[in-house]
Structure 1
């Protein structure tokens, strides 16, 4: 989006200034109070946050970076954040009598300033933690995929529903509590010894070779191996079993050992990028989206597009299959069950596309007691339901129509680990705007977090 600006007089600081102006207008709109101004403020907030990520992208592609620009960007973020919540507090106080504004022994305006300062403190401390121990030091499990900053993108929905007052109260309580947790993380990080390389000078540090990428077969080699595997399979018998089980089939041994080992190496390589989620009563675990895999484990994408694999799946499905669109983070993804209790409850892999969506599960790591439990024929009136369960080990395959199979993964036990790979194929890649919004929100909340799902739209590279 900012590529045309790379060779112009426009600098990242210009975009930071624009973000600051829009952010100030947002805070002013909220401070006026009332339904209309709150909605205007929410729109300006989304626009301000969007612009906030363009300055870093321009700095990256143009090389126009500076220490002053970095400080200006961070200072603007903190300033706008404090004024945003302060403005929300002033707006609530302006339209509601003081004694009814909030059910707490503080004024609404005070709650706004408390929330704003707490959020700014969170940003500052996490920046300091990252500077000392790296990005892994700030990685946290998200409640439903939300981070502190991400929740602000839902502000238009909050204001449309007239929930500004409730949002203020929640922010004034939640932000300080979360800030306390970050303070604890900060203290721990500051007590942690710095990595050895931070103490070495460039002259005394011995040359270290870059770690070798996991050795993976080339795409055409993997495709040839799958062809050889299929030669040993009675594909017609598998197809009949798939149809008799209402579009579901399980093969315990499918992937060649070399491909399985490459997938294991890929899964280990992207472990630092795992996004953990917790949805009470439904889901707990980690995941890595196709966007991260494209960047750090391209072999997964090569396997996803294997002509031999897709021809096999098309024979089972009985129709032409297409890769999911490039902006679908769920197209191929790794799912990590690494903590006791990690699981996912009963669900369908509902298709939001105009056509059908088929799911392919491949076992990668399975040192667990987890089972894929399933129910067949749940949407076939007059056909008895059939229950089953499988534990698919490394190299195993499960293929099904996402709208037909009711399934879940049982909870992980102590000292266990399970990693699986999911491929999603569609018959029609078109999707309505409403369905796209629902699909993106589901993926952001339940799986990958807002940064992964909306990264191509928001360009969230910071200076």
Structure 2
């Protein structure tokens, strides 16, 4: 519904304001008291909560994001929720001005404000937790695609059966109990030691990036990852994210940026690639594939900088804007989550293929150029799975620091053969929308990775090790 707004002057803040207005109207309706107004308030509550999802969606698909907008959204959520419970309390008190022992004798109005203020405390603590450890620290429980807060969509059923008073009492008891759990999470998050890279932000990436001849077990360390995140944030300031998002959509989930990674990050990747060269697993599939690969398990052991870059919050936020949906890291046992690909011998190549997702959700592929002293090209065909849309062919040579991002199930692509005295190394990151995978799909995925990429020892050693633990 918000997709047509992406290229208009309407911003996510406009939708947040609309949600705020409807939410205040909802609280006012409840505060009037009576059966009819309670039902009006319930309908307005559902509408307000629905509009609350639109601002974030518009921000993702249009790239119109800001810290102020994020704070405005959180503040509006808190205010609407506080006024909601306060309004319910006032409305119930207007109809039945008695006291309720829960456990102290309190009026309905007092119960409403207790629930509302407690919810405000929960919002505040969750915001502090998110600022400390990121969004992962405040992810809500989900069931069938619904989050905990979505229970408010059932409010019309509550009012329809005249259950507003019971809902108020339950909220006045349940909100403080839930707040205690959030307080425990908050204390744990605040006690968690900050990484060295946050305590010492002045340390530059170049000071921790290893030279090409160094051994990776000693570097780069965690500080490099956070310095890289800051570098990526600055690099994104020079990118027209809205234009890149439009291009990604118009090309059926594909975009190419010739300049993306900061030079310091690219140099650190080159050093990592050189350091793990002895661990390259060569593979050959007649008529389809020839080259070398290093899996995420080897990179975790010898090149931790790659793993930290994979989890870069700045990088992930940018990719989510392009994709228009929440992206998650691939599971720990997926050797393809991040991997280096080496084209070092004449004829190294990979034939036409899709990056088929064996997960229940979509799998997005991010390609980053590391070393490119070659005539190789990434050749691709767009719209091959869109009936009635003619395919569009293209080719790019992504140099060091370049970015290619696409939906693996949609892009038909290949890498052309390497020539004499040439070399090419690229890095791939895989992100998913649903990390679940069936047992049969997992077996197929592991066999493909073992035969075509990383070898049986690398793939199944990890599986056996995980089983023993």
Q: TM-score range by the shorter chain?
A: 0.5 to 0.7
Q: Which of 384, 406, 413 is matched with 1:407 structurally? A: 413
- Establish whether residue 417 from structure 1 lines up as the match of residue 445 from structure 2: no
* Residue 264 of structure 1: how far off its partner (Å): 0.2
Deviations 1:242-273 (A, max 9, x none): 00000000000000000000000000000000
- Establish whether residue 269 from structure 1 lines up as the match of residue 285 from structure 2: no
Q: Which residue of 2 aligns with 1:426?
A: 432
Call closer, same or farther: CA 1:258–1:457 in 2, change over 3 Å: same
Call closer, same or farther: CA 1:240–1:290 in 2, change over 3 Å: same
Q: Which of 300, 307, 317 is matched with 2:306 structurally? A: 300
Call closer, same or farther: CA 1:215–1:444 in 2, change over 3 Å: closer
Call closer, same or farther: CA 1:290–1:315 in 2, change over 3 Å: same
Q: Which of 416, 436, 441 is matched with 1:435 structurally? A: 441
Q: Which residue of 2 aligns with 1:451?
A: 457
CA distance in 1, matches of 2:367, 2:359: 19
Q: Which of 265, 287, 290 is matched with 1:284 structurally? A: 290
CA distance in 1, matches of 2:277, 2:413: 26
CA distance in 1, matches of 2:444, 2:408: 17
* Residue 459 of structure 1: how far off its partner (Å): 3.9
- Establish whether residue 225 from structure 1 lines up as the match of residue 231 from structure 2: yes
Call closer, same or farther: CA 1:367–1:214 in 2, change over 3 Å: farther
Cα-Cα RMSD: 1.4
- Establish whether residue 371 from structure 1 lines up as the match of residue 377 from structure 2: yes
SS of equivalent residue, structure 1 residue 353: coil
**2:365/2:407 contact within 8 Å kept:** yes
CA distance in 1, matches of 2:264, 2:237: 17
CA distance in 2, matches of 1:370, 1:313: 25
Q: Which of 334, 339, 345 is matched with 2:345 structurally? A: 339
Normalising by structure 2, report the TM-score.
Answer: 0.53
Q: Which residue of 2 aligns with 1:390?
A: 396
CA distance in 1, matches of 2:274, 2:225: 20
Q: Which of 303, 322, 326 is matched with 2:328 structurally? A: 322
* Residue 214 of structure 1: how far off its partner (Å): 5.0
Structure 1 segments, 4+ long, off by >2 Å, are: 210-217, 457-460
- 1:24-423 matched pairs, under 5 angstroms: 213-214=218-219, 218-423=224-429
* Residue 458 of structure 1: how far off its partner (Å): 2.6
* Residue 456 of structure 1: how far off its partner (Å): 1.8
SS of equivalent residue, structure 1 residue 418: strand
**1:350/1:403 contact within 8 Å kept:** yes
**1:214/1:262 contact within 8 Å kept:** no
CA distance in 2, matches of 1:455, 1:293: 15
CA distance in 2, matches of 1:330, 1:458: 17
CA distance in 1, matches of 2:235, 2:243: 15
Call closer, same or farther: CA 1:454–1:367 in 2, change over 3 Å: same
* Residue 324 of structure 1: how far off its partner (Å): 0.1
Where does structure 2 lack aligned partners over 5 or more consecutive residues?
1-213
CA distance in 1, matches of 2:402, 2:215: 30
**1:354/1:430 contact within 8 Å kept:** yes
CA distance in 2, matches of 1:228, 1:221: 11
SS of equivalent residue, structure 2 residue 232: helix
SS of equivalent residue, structure 1 residue 454: helix
Normalising by structure 1, report the TM-score.
Answer: 0.53
Larger Rg: 2
Call closer, same or farther: CA 1:378–1:252 in 2, change over 3 Å: same
**2:372/2:399 contact within 8 Å kept:** yes
- 1:2-13 matched pairs, under 5 angstroms: none
